[in-house]
């Protein structure tokens, strides 16, 4: 009997994929910093029993249709908006993600981004390196306090709750908006549920942690930014397309909001010449929410376990399509 064939869309450490090799042939795209081209992914999908994909790979109906032997797509990320899950489900293809293992790591980065944006950390460090520091002065690079302020978390899933937990350490008042109320978050973290509009109006820090869906695409639009306080700081550690970037740019330039910390963008990688990156009140990061060595290894291992489970006819640990 021929062994199953698994294609991995980025170069991953050999010891991590080794367990798959016990039961399958494994081929890997040879680069860790270059995205697999679509034609290569298409050809590989045609042969593959399993794909191990990155959140930057678009696995749409065309790719899934080509994958006549495909049984599982294991995506290295908690988000799976890059995969057409309903097309996969229709064809009996399992889609898996990597929740839980990245929760605290992503919450740490989200909070780091919030602090960095509020306290102008990146701007100040750059300023110093450019030799601009003449003397201590009363309002030099003065930012905004974080402690005792109101944080408004949009998307109170596991990462949202982990961010809220961090916010309690800063004595913050915690508001949240979510598809449904999260009673556990209310009881454990003292978070208060409110409408999207109420949150926008009341929060000093508006933190976007909602998944990208048809409903959330561009939910942060010009109307949303107009409702925020002029002193508000907007943080996005979820998906770029939840935000209308042109509207965000205009809100930042016109002073409708004070600053933004962004780990994600509508088109990644964002061009260095993008107008958002020229603003001093923007702290921008290259989608590194879950990027610690420990967590990335756990994510890769979970993808491998999910693939092995499906190829052995077992239920994977973190199945997205029920
Ligand atoms: C995720 O897990 O969805 C992240 O965005 C990738 O780090």
Burial status of residue 4 (CB atoms within 10 A of its CB: 0-12, 13-18, 19 or more): buried
Residue 319 lies in a domain: no
Distances (CA, A) of 291 to 53, 89, 139: 16, 29, 34
Candidate from 9, 59, 106 with most ligand 1 atoms within 8 A of CB, to mutate: 106
CATH number assigned to the domain comprising residue 55: 3.40.50.720
**Residues 114, 33: Cα–Cα separation, whole Å:** 27
What's the ipTM?
Answer: 0.93
Beta-sheet pairing, 150-154 with 173-177: parallel
Q: For residue 320, give the DSSP letter.
A: S
- Residue 227 sits in which domain range? 103-284
Match 């598809």 to its residue by tokens. 179
Nearest atom in ligand 1 to the alpha carbon of residue 79 is 3
Query: Does 191 fall in a domain?
Result: yes
* Secondary structure (3-state) at 18: helix
**Same domain for 145 and 198?**
yes
How far is residue 12 from each of residues 1, 29, 33, 65, 322, measured CA to CA in Å? 27, 9, 11, 26, 28
Phi, psi (5° rounding) for residue 11? Answer: -75, 120
My answer on whether 174 and 119 are in the same domain is yes
Query: What is the model's pLDDT at position 317?
Result: 98
User: Across the 322 residues of the chain, what is the mean pLDDT of every consecutive 10-residue run?
Assistant: 95 98 98 97 98 98 98 98 98 98 98 99 98 97 98 98 98 97 95 98 98 97 98 98 98 98 98 98 98 98 98 98 84
In DSSP notation, 223-290 reads HHHHHS-TT-EEEE-S-GGGB-HHHHHHHHHHTSSSEEEES--SSSSPPTT-GGGG-TTEEE--S-TT
Take residue 10 and report the two structure tokens written for it.
Answer: 């980025």
Within a domain: residue 206? yes
Query: What pLDDT sits at residue 292?
Result: 98
Compute, in angstroms, the gap from residue 71 CA to the centroid of ligand 1. 22
| Joined tokens for residue 271 | 């061009």
Rounded to whole angstroms, the Cα distance separating 114 from 200 reads 16
Q: How many angstroms does the Cα of residue 235 sit away from the middle of ligand 1?
A: 16
> DSSP characters for 204-225?
SEEEE-PPP-TTTTT-B-HHHH
Residue with tokens 């290569």: 40
> Both 123 and 243 in a single domain?
yes
Cα–Cα distance between 109 and 322 in angstroms, integer?
30
pLDDT at 24: 98
Residues 167 and 274 in one domain: yes
Q: Is residue 321 included in any domain, yes or no?
A: no
Asked if 87 and 145 sit in the same domain, the reply is no
The pocket around ligand 1, CB under 6 angstroms, is made up of: 55, 77-79, 102, 289-290
Structural domain total, the chain: 2
Identify the active-site residue in 10, 166, 177, 239.
239
* 318 domain residue, yes or no: no
With the most atoms of ligand 1 within 8 angstroms of its CB, the residue from 10, 55, 110 to mutate is: 55
Residues 110, 66 share a domain: no
Question: Is residue 239 annotated as part of the catalytic site, yes or no?
Answer: yes
Distance 161 CA to ligand 1 centre (A): 16
Cα 115–Cα 119–Cα 120 angle in degrees, nearest 5: 110
Do the domain assignments include residue 316?
no
Q: What is the pLDDT of residue 1?
A: 73
């Amino acid at each position: 009997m021929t062994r199953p064939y698994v294609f991995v869309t980025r170069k991953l450490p050999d010891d991590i994929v080794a367990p798959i090799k016990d039961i399958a042939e494994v081929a890997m795209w040879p680069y860790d910093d270059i995205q697999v081209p679509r034609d290569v992914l298409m050809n590989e999908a045609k042969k593959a029993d399993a794909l191990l994909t990155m959140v930057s790979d678009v696995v749409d109906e065309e790719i899934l249709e080509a994958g006549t032997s495909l049984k599982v797509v294991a995506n290295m990320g908690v988000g799976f908006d890059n995969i057409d899950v309903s097309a996969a489900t229709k064809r009996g293809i399992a889609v898996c993600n990597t929740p839980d293992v990245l929760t605290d790591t992503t919450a740490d980065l989200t909070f780091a981004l919030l602090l960095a944006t509020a306290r102008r950390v990146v701007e100040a460090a750059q300023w110093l390196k450019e030799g601009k520091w003449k003397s201590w002065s009363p309002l030099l690079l003065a930012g905004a306090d974080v402690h005792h302020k109101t944080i408004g978390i949009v998307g109170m899933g596991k990462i949202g709750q982990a961010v809220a937990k961090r916010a309690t350490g800063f004595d913050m008042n915690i508001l949240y908006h979510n598809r449904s109320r999260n009673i556990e978050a209310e009881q454990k973290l003292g978070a208060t549920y409110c409408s999207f509009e109420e949150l926008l109006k009341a929060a000093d820090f508006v933190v976007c942690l909602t998944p990208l869906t048809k409903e959330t695409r561009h939910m942060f639009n010009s109307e949303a930014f107009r409702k925020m306080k002029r002193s508000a700081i907007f943080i996005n550690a979820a998906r770029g397309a939840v935000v209308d970037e042109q509207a965000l740019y205009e809100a930042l330039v016109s002073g409708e909001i004070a600053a933004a910390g962004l780990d994600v963008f509508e088109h990644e990688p964002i061009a260095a010449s993008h107008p958002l990156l020229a603003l001093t009140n923007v702290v921008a990061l290259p989608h590194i929410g879950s990027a610690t060595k420990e967590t990335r290894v756990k994510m890769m291992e979970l993808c491998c376990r999910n693939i092995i489970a499906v190829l052995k006819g077992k239920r994977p640990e973190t199945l997205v399509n029920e």
